[in-house]
Structure 1
Amino acid sequence: MSMIISYKHHRFPPEIIAHAVWLYVRFNLSLREVEEIFLKCGIDVSYETIRRWLAKFAPQIARNLRRRQVPPGDVWHLDDVVVMISGRKSWLWRAVDQEGLVLEEILQSKRDKRAAKRLLKALIKRFGLPERVVTDKLRSFAAARREIAPGLEHRSYKGLNNRAENSHLPFR
């Protein structure tokens, strides 16, 4: 059941407010670009007003969407990828279910058992135990699984983890 978002005491109709939030989030536009789009449609709204709408309504919309979200699949694909942040090497650990839904992302400075344990603990705390975990040949995953969930089925093959490899797309 989703909570109803109240748009009372706002000058613009709910459709315009929701559309402004959608444009900003979905298409990675700046506030001024959203303002320009509305101006081309004949709607004069300030970028500052759009910023206030985002601060007020975006968390509520996100909460409603999370409630409607389907539960993740029972096969998880775990992977890590190196990313450069300000010239320093970091590791982005990512978990994806069999449908391609990103379950969790964690940024770590190291690529070790402790980092893999952190990812696995966060996943189990949020979603419970899966039926099976698929990883690449990195031994940190197997060591973390042995400590946290010894009964969990683990498949570690080079070609099986393509689902997680394909999920390393740019993110905001």
Structure 2
Amino acid sequence: MFAQELRDRRPRPTGRWHLDEMVVTIAGKLLWLWRAVESEGEVLNLLVQSTRDTATAIRLMRKLLRKRGFAPEAIVTDKLRSYGAAMRELGLSSRHERGQRQNNRAENSHQPTRRRERKMQRFKSPGSAQRFLSVHAAVHNTFDVERHLISRKNLKSFRAAAMNQWRSATATHA
């Protein structure tokens, strides 16, 4: 699928990962969307689950470590105890940082999800939410450049590079 192709073309993520969870309503049920974001704001991984416990935190971390192939220098979380237990079990407790305001990078990454959720008039099933959010994260990571930080000339070149990546990933030519 083109989302995996886009993910494969991304540069290696930074060594500081932020983990957080948020509640989403899917088919009238409250479920948890677990998200891992790097320090630059790229979504590394996400997981839709019905629980907010240690087993789910371990599942997210194992999936993340397996996909990325390396352990980060630091893992920043909020004060949810499940993260601490998961880090201890995986042997990453020395890299774990927790704090109330240290995790703003992950908290801010929830805002686009809320906007998409409203536009779609809520997600219909956990599977469709997982698929949509995974694909959207890959596309968003490719096209999202922090335009307020760069010049117009650089923005145009970054967008052109993103379009080239998109065309090669989807095998389309314009």
Bucket of the pairwise TM-score, normalised by the shorter protein: 0.5 to 0.7
Alignment partner, residue 102 of structure 1: 43
- The amino acid across from 1:158 in the alignment is Q
Percent of residue pairs bearing the same amino acid type: 47
Aligned residues: 113
> Between Structure 1 and Structure 2, which shows a larger proportion of helix residues?
2
Is the alpha carbon distance of 1:150 and 1:63 closer, same or farther for their aligned partners in structure 2, counting shifts above 3 Å? closer
The structure having more radius of gyration, on CA atoms, is 1
What whole-Å deviation, never above 9, does each CA across 1:25-56 have from its counterpart, x for those lacking one?
Answer: xxxxxxxxxxxxxxxxxxxxxxxxxxxxxxxx
TM-score by length of 2: 0.61
Is the alpha carbon distance of 1:79 and 1:62 closer, same or farther for their aligned partners in structure 2, counting shifts above 3 Å? closer
CA RMSD of aligned residues (A): 1.5
Is the alpha carbon distance of 1:130 and 1:72 closer, same or farther for their aligned partners in structure 2, counting shifts above 3 Å? same
Q: Tell me if structure 1 keeps the 8 A contact 2:75–2:95.
A: yes
Q: Which runs of 4+ in 1 moved over 3 A?
A: 61-64
Say whether 1:146 aligns with 2:68. no
Q: Tell me if structure 1 keeps the 8 A contact 2:77–2:99.
A: yes
Q: Which runs of 5 or more structure 2 residues have no equivalent in the other structure? A: 117-131, 133-174
Q: Tell me if structure 1 keeps the 8 A contact 2:18–2:39.
A: yes
Say whether 1:129 aligns with 2:129. no
Is the alpha carbon distance of 1:141 and 1:131 closer, same or farther for their aligned partners in structure 2, counting shifts above 3 Å? same
TM-score by length of 1: 0.62
Alignment partner, residue 83 of structure 1: 24
Report deviation, 1:152.
Answer: 4.0
